[in-house]
């Protein structure tokens, strides 16, 4: 689980130096925005046992606060979050990676951080290290619906793919031996494994390490100005990417 002590120390270390820093507010001071979030611990957590909202949520709220904007969050499955952003029913999604398809309906902020993604497999199966997706062959692999990881599987010609609704469903299938691999992001998967006491049962094969952003719906009124405002607020944190990497290292303490 995320250590409350380390979480608080980290938050204070990040936020205190920048409290009171003045920034030019591109939008009106009274504005409220609505973002869609998916459950993605330890970055985004709706009802965590510790009561902590997650590192990304903290950074988003503080970045918007710097420029006089109040952030409201609605949690929902990832695929639905993308759909409501596409239709302009929310102002954006809390965080996402940049893809060509998403760029058609969303603007991407400056990077919030970097995320590791790869393949999880049962330690008991003793698979050789997988360095690329095309090495999966005919073995089965599960992946969350709406994740851009699906596109990578398709590009690699992987055929035996199961699209899943949640991290917990993917891990349940993996632990029961119904999947050879579970393809996902390292941090949330390790978080759930640690919570359930299964960390030693699973091995992780990292395949990529990429930037992710806060993502603004182009269909939302004033979206370009909102992007500028958010980036101004985020700039107060300095090197956010290195901060997220540190968060990732302490997430399971």
Contact 57, 63 (CB under 8 A): no
149 and 88 belong to one structural domain: no
110 and 217 belong to one structural domain: yes
**Domain range enclosing 167:** 115-209
Residue 10, pLDDT above cutoff 70: no
Task: Choose between 135 and 11: higher pLDDT.
Answer: 135
Q: How far apart are CA 81 and CA 90, in angstroms?
A: 9
Q: How far apart are CA 40 and CA 190, in angstroms?
A: 11
Q: How far apart are CA 168 and CA 9, in angstroms?
A: 29
pLDDT in tens, 147-198: 999 999 999 999 999 999 999 999 999 999 999 999 999 999 999 999 999 9
pLDDT in tens, 229-252: 999 999 976 544 434 443 444 344
Q: How far apart are CA 204 and CA 146, in angstroms?
A: 22
Query: Per the omega criterion (within 30 degrees of 0), is the bond before 42 cis?
Result: yes
76 and 20 belong to one structural domain: yes
101 and 163 belong to one structural domain: no
Question: Which pLDDT value is given to residue 1?
Answer: 44
pLDDT in tens, 23-64: 334 455 579 999 999 999 999 999 888 888 998 999 899 999
Q: How many domains does the chain have?
A: 2
Contact 220, 90 (CB under 8 A): yes
174 and 102 belong to one structural domain: no
107 and 10 belong to one structural domain: yes
CATH of the domain at 92: 3.40.190.10
Read off the pTM: 0.77
227 and 244 belong to one structural domain: yes
Percent of the chain predicted with pLDDT > 90: 74
25 and 106 belong to one structural domain: yes
Task: Choose between 10 and 75: higher pLDDT.
Answer: 75
20 and 133 belong to one structural domain: no
Question: Which pLDDT value is given to residue 238?
Answer: 53
Contact 27, 231 (CB under 8 A): no
Closest CA to 147 of 46, 211, 75, 78: 78
151 and 36 belong to one structural domain: no
216 and 93 belong to one structural domain: yes
101 and 138 belong to one structural domain: no
pLDDT in tens, 63-105: 999 999 999 999 999 999 999 999 999 999 999 999 999 999 9
Question: Which pLDDT value is given to residue 27?
Answer: 52
Question: Which pLDDT value is given to residue 49?
Answer: 80
């Amino acid at each position: 689980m995320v250590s409350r002590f380390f979480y608080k120390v980290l938050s204070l270390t990040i936020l205190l130096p920048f409290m009171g820093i003045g920034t030019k507010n591109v939008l009106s001071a009274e504005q409220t925005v609505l973002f869609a979030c998916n459950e993605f611990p330890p970055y985004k957590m709706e009802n965590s046992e510790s009561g902590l909202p997650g590192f990304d949520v903290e950074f988003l709220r503080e970045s918007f606060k710097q420029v006089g904007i109040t952030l409201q969050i609605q949690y929902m499955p990832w695929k639905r979050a993308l759909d409501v952003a596409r239709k302009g029913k929310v102002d954006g999604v809390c965080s996402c990676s940049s893809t060509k398809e998403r760029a058609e309906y969303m603007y991407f902020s400056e990077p919030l951080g970097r995320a590791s993604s790869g393949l999880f497999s049962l330690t008991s199966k003793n698979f050789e290290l997988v360095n690329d997706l095309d090495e999966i062959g005919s073995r089965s692999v599960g992946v969350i619906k709406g994740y851009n990881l699906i596109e990578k599987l398709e590009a690699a010609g992987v055929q035996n793919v199961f699209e899943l609704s949640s991290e917990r469903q993917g891990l349940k299938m993996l632990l029961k031996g119904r999947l050879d691999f579970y393809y996902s992001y390292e941090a949330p998967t390790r978080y759930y494994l640690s919570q359930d006491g299964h960390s030693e049962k699973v091995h992780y094969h990292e395949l990529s390490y990429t930037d992710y952003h806060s993502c603004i719906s182009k269909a939302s009124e004033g979206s370009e100005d909102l992007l500028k405002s958010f980036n101004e607020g985020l700039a107060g944190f300095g090197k956010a990417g290195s901060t997220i990497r540190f968060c990732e290292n302490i997430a399971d303490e």
